[in-house]
Structure formats: C-alpha cells, structure tokens
Amino acid sequence: MSKHSSLSNSPKVSDWLDFSSFGRLILHTGKVDIGQRITTALALIAAEELSIPFDDITVRKTRTDIDPNEGYTAGSFSMQHSGYAIKKATATARHIFAKKASEKLNVAEEKLEVSDGQFRAARTNQSVTYWELMSDISLDVDVDEEVETKNPADYTSQNKPHIAKGMAEIMTGRYQFLHDLKLDNMLHARIIRPPHYHCELESLDSDVLSRLKQENVYLVQDGSFLAVAALQEYHVVKAARRVSLAAKWKSVKQLSEENIYSLLTSNYKDSFFVEKGCIPSATRKIPELEQIDEDKNYKIIATYRKPYHMHASIGPSAGCARFDGDGLMVWTHNQGVYPLRAAITEAFDMPIDKVSVQFVPGAGVYGHNGADDAAFDAAIIARHIPGHPILLKWTRDDEHSWEPYGSAMQCEIQASIDKNGNISSWSHETFADTFLTRPITGKQPATRMVSAHYIKDALPWPVAEPMMVPHGGIHRNMEMLYEMPQPRLVKNRVYDLPLRTSALRTLGAYGNVFANESMINELAEIAKLDPFTFRLQHLKDERAIAVLSKLQRVMEDQIRDDEQYGHGIGFARYKNSAAYCAIGVSLSVNEAAEVKLHDAYIVCDAGEIVDSEGVRAQLEGGFIQAASWTLYEQVLYERDGIVSRDWDTYPIITFDNIPQMHTYIIVNPGMPYLGAGEGAAGPTAAAIGNALKDATGLRVREMPFNPDKIMAAALEE
C-alpha cells in the first residue's frame, strides 16, 4: 500500500480519472477550491501528462462517496496531496492508453505522437482518441508511483497563460455560489443566538410564536437552539428579529475579562519540549533556561504578542440541507466534506450511507470558520422540517461573534550572540489555546459543532488534545532553518481561555515567525550587521539562501533612499517543508502613528510551478491578509460577549493601504510541489514589524500595530 496519504485512501487510477463523457476528462479530488485555484492547477497537471486540452478537463466539486477522501483542504497540502496523486494517476493512464493505441494502430509506442487527446501514428493519417480506447481498457488498476512522468523540458501547458477554471463565470456573474442555491420547495432560515457561549434559553413570548404560525413562518426550538424558516428570505429576517426580542436567556457564567496575555501564562497548561524537527515530546524533561555568560555573549529577552483573530470572511457563512425522512443531503463551502459528514452522522445517530455532503463554493474560509457550523445548523433545521431544502445564511453578527477564532499567542524568546556575531543560544516558549477544534473523524466530531451544545441533548464542549505532530498547531514554525546550537523550544497548550478557537490560516506559524524574525533583526542590530548578512551567515540551506539573496538584490535595485520610509524583511520556510518565502516591506508612519504600506517585495520557491498566476495570487493575497492581521485586527470582548460584531469594531485592511506588489517566483521544473498558500503570512508580519522599527526607532512587539500600540511603545522608550 502507498505511503502517500491520498493514494493509500484512493489507490486506483479510476478513483481520480473519468473518461466516461466523450471528449472530456473529469478529475476527482478530495481538495476543494476555496479561491486558491487548485482546480486550475490539477487540470493543468492532467492536461500536461495526457496532452489533453486544458479546456476539455473538468474538475468535480468534491462529494462524499464519489470523490477521494483527502481530509481537509488545509496546511498548503493540496498540491502535495492531490497534485501528486493526479500527476501519478495521469502518467499511469497515459502509459496504459499508449500501449493499447500501439496495438490498435499497429505501430510501436515510441512512434506514437499524442496531442489534443489523440494518439497518432507518425507520418500517417491513423489516429485514435483516449475515449475510443476506453472500451478496451480498464483504469481500475493501482496508480504506479514509479511511473515515468513527462519531462519538464517538454511541457506545453503548465505555467502558460490561461483563464482559470470558473473565472469566466465569476467575471460574467454566472458562477453559482452556495448562497445562490435555488431548490424546489426551498425555505430560507436564520439562527437566533444567545448573547454569548454560556447561556441557556429561559422563555419565549407565546404571542410572538402564535403570530409566526399565522404568518406561515416555521419556528424550530430544540433545547436552546432557535431558528426560523419561511419561503421568503425577507420574512425570515424580520421573524428572526422578532424572536430575538421575544427570547429571554439565562447566563450560566460570563467571559473572563482578565488580560488575555496574563491568562496565557497563568492558566493551567500542558508544556512540551519540542525536539529537532519540531516534534513535541511528552516524555523528555524541559531543559532549564540557559544562563548566558554575558562577558562572552550579548543577550536579548523579549516577549511578542498577537491577539485573537477572526477569519473575517467578507461574506458570512451559509449551509443548505434537505432531509426526506430517511436520508440527509448537505451542501457546504467548508474545507472538509468527509469530516463534516462524520460530525453529522454522530450527532444525529444516522448511518453513514444516509448522509451525503457536497461542496459548493461560497465565501472564503481560511481554516475553520463558520462554514461547518452553518451546514450543521441547516441540517438540524432540515430534520425538524423534512421535505424542504433549508438554505441557512449566517448574518455578519453571527459570523463575527460565533465563528471559532485564531488563538491569541504569547512568544517569549531569550537569545544571544557571541562576539563574532553568531547565534550562541536560543530559547522560544509559545503560549496559546488550541488551533484545532475542527471535526475529526473518530474523535467525537459532533462535539466540535457549536449548535451541538444548545440542542436538547446537548453535547459537552470539546477539550482538544495537544497536537503532537511535526509543526502542529501551536509549535508550527517555532523551529527555524538558521544554524545555531540546539534551541530550547517549548510548546505551552493553555486551557480554560475565554473564546472558542480553532484553525485559522497558518495556525501558530504566523505568531511564531513574527516573533522569530523580529528577534533575528534585534540580534542583527546588536551584531551591527544588516538583516540580510546576518541571516545569510546563519544559513546552509541553498534554496533558502537563493530566496533571501534574490530578495536582497531586488530591494537593493528598487528601493530609493528616503528618510521617511522604513524597510524590513522577514523569512521562513512554511513548516520547514513547504514553500520558502522572503518578504520585504517599505512603509511610512505619519504623525497620527498610522502605518502606510508603500511596497511589498515577495520572493518564493514553491518547487515545480504549475500555475504561476495562481501562486502569485496566493502569495499576494496571503500578504494582504497578514498585513491586515498585523496592522488592524483584534477580537474585542467583554464579560457579556463579543464586542467585535461588525467592520467598525473589527476593522480590516482596505484598498487605500494595499502596497505596490513586486512578486518573484523561483521556478524549479521537476522538483516536488511545495505548498505556497500560507507561506507569506509569518514573514509579512515580521517584515512590517522590522520596517516599523526602521521607520520610527520603536520596536513594537504586540500586535496589531495600530496607533494605540505604536504610541504606547513610544511612551515605554
């Protein structure tokens, strides 16, 4: 059996390729397209290996029991998982078809030419298509992982200009998102939420319930779970408002208002020493913090902080479900249809073959936002109102106050350099809540759904176990590529914190890289070395050196001396196994302590590049999202609930602060795919922090770098 996760679950060529529609190839994948253009990349891989026109290839939207189970579309693994599997499956298929075409045309395989989906005998008019050969072959064979794939020198499709899958429909308004679904006999629905997590429904005004019934509005009450549904969406919006005013809630307890960074270090925690390779050890004793000989070394101790962050999807989540009294069909824009099915079947005690989950594109997800919960909410309502498809849309208030957030983090670093400017010691402790309360098959997935805690047979809130895999949640990218003595890396999984948390893009890497790369700059200042020289003298990884050196050349060529601007850089290899990414930033700070971004310089090595425009979009989009986190975003809350319920109370970056992008992709044909989607985030935060220091002389170590934080740092100087 294959050791590759995707092929071990779906080992047959037929699991990935479907030639049943004449003239078209249908690709199956367990990875969903949430804007990262994975469907385009997979189609390009297949087009290249099979010499079938890109426009003749369709990539299915993932559905349980029809498409491969590849878990979540997460961790920048789509190309390493689906990309690898489809490359090997299409290469295997090409060899099978070529052998049969050779027999059919009575010509040696090496004499065959293949293009536009046809095999041709050289210097003859004989030809046969893949589809004409299908009746004589079977693709129900194992994918050959040792198969010879196409020579990169012969590529004609990959990395060439093309229109991304679905882009024409998006641009012309014909693309259908989940929120646009129109099904026969469909009802629209809304949820009525309590003020905060720890509330129970006490009573409902009976007069309101009576009027709703007269107006043909369904009310679903299941324990403390409340929802309304009706044929017209406008009627549902009005009804939800009325029920909200008619509901009385009892607060069981309130949210802690103690400073979150105090809680991160004072609450109960599980602590682990993180070994080489960024693997936590449950058995090895955590070493004591090293005592530095300050006669021979320069030492810095610093604490870096990031607040709770939202996914902050511009469009709120949605879900759709239909229950016919026996089976349940669910439509979702989440990142994992199979884990969601596991949660639904467990919650409702349904046989797995009675639940189907279909991916439909929707608003951006960026990890575990409200999409899973919205689909689960729709399923609850559908079971109460069988026979009607239920299209449920969360409101902005729902999304901001009920999605799982990215945990606040505190990173405490002690580092030193010797008199030669070499790193002589490094200790990094990170404190955070879990980054993983997604549904996980086999690990009580139903408890991960927010509404499961309010229905009549309420489930307990989950306590996620610490992630003990290489570069897991909290400890992702704690370890760096720089040469140094064995670092002291400590992961602290903190419990009983006030807000619900789960996966947000990059998990702990954003905070850890920000802290690491800020400290690297602080050490470079003490060593009186420029940030590039200091980093390069501590690197042996040739690809890392190439990326940083390219950024150095670009910035030296393009940056003009201007005392009003500050310049900074950040670098990391995401998870130390995915893309290498170096970021440079030029910015200025006005008298109101507002940061203006002027230029962003991005250099990335993501291995073999299939869709350069897709990679570019991911890098630049990742920069913008991380810049927004770094400069603006912070979840505010008080004892009675979330305060950040709209864009005024949770500001995000706007067009007036998007810098000029200068993006350079290092192309390595024939090298393994390296996920690029999340590689820019951590280096972006560090580059902005380091540029802020260069512009103002202030080292601001707590995000967001808004005027309040910058002015507070000035007062501390």
Q: Could you tell me if 114 and 51 are in contact, meaning their C-beta atoms sit under 8 angstroms apart?
A: yes
Q: Model confidence over 559-601: pLDDT tens digits?
A: 877 778 999 999 999 999 999 999 999 999 999 999 999 999 9
Q: Could you tell me if 443 and 467 are in contact, meaning their C-beta atoms sit under 8 angstroms apart?
A: no
CA dihedral over 260, 266, 270, 276, signed as positive or negative: positive
Q: Model confidence over 627-648: pLDDT tens digits?
A: 999 999 999 999 999 999 999 9
Higher pLDDT, 35 or 539: 539
Q: What pLDDT is recorded for position 685? A: 98
Residue ranges covered by each domain of the chain: 5-154+165-172
DSSP readout, 183-222? Answer: -TT-EEEEEE--SSTTEEEEEE-HHHHHHHHHTT-EEEEE
Q: Could you tell me if 576 and 278 are in contact, meaning their C-beta atoms sit under 8 angstroms apart?
A: yes
Q: In sequence order, what E strands does 231-296 have?
A: 247-251, 269-275, 279-281
Q: What pLDDT is recorded for position 680? A: 97
Say if residue 3's pLDDT is above 80.
Answer: no
Q: What pLDDT is recorded for position 2? A: 63
Q: What pLDDT is recorded for position 646? A: 96
Rg, Å, the chain Cα set = 27
Given CATH 2.60.120.380, say whether it is the number of domain 5-154+165-172: no
Beta bridge partners of residue 687, listed in sequence order: none
- How far apart CA 109 and CA 95 sit, in angstroms, is 9
Q: What is the mean pLDDT of the chain?
A: 95
Q: What pLDDT is recorded for position 110? A: 86
Q: Model confidence over 181-235: pLDDT tens digits?
A: 999 999 999 999 999 999 999 999 988 888 998 999 999 999 999 999 999 999 9
Q: Could you tell me if 246 and 204 are in contact, meaning their C-beta atoms sit under 8 angstroms apart?
A: yes
Q: What pLDDT is recorded for position 111? A: 87
Report the side by side order of strands in the sheet with 269-275: 279-281, 269-275, 488-494, 423-432, 409-418, 297-306
- How far apart CA 227 and CA 661 sit, in angstroms, is 45
Phi, psi (rounded to 5 degrees) for 572: -165, 160
DSSP state of 416: E
3-state secondary structure 569-630: EEEEEHHHCCCEEEEEEEEEECCCCCEEEEEEEEEEECECCCCHHHHHHHHHHHHHHHHHHH
Q: Could you tell me if 322 and 328 are in contact, meaning their C-beta atoms sit under 8 angstroms apart?
A: yes
Q: Model confidence over 104-143: pLDDT tens digits?
A: 998 988 889 999 999 998 878 889 999 999 999 999 999 9
3-state secondary structure 117-168: CEEEECCCCCEEEHHHHHHHCCCCCECCCCCCCCCHHHCCCCCCCCCCCCHH
Say if residue 389's pLDDT is above 60.
Answer: yes
- Give the number of other Cβ atoms within 10 Å of residue 90's Cβ: 27
Residue type, 281: S
Q: What pLDDT is recorded for position 177? A: 94
- How far apart CA 504 and CA 497 sit, in angstroms, is 17
**β-pair type (199-204, 247-251):** antiparallel
CA distances for 578 relative to 232, 573, 607, 677, 683, angstroms: 47, 6, 9, 9, 14
Residue type, 528: K
Residue type, 379: A
- Give the number of other Cβ atoms within 10 Å of residue 613's Cβ: 17
Place of tokens 């309360």: 437
Residues 6+ apart with CB under 8 A from 714: 593, 696, 698
Residues 6+ apart with CB under 8 A from 503: 74, 367, 368, 404, 406, 435, 436, 438, 473
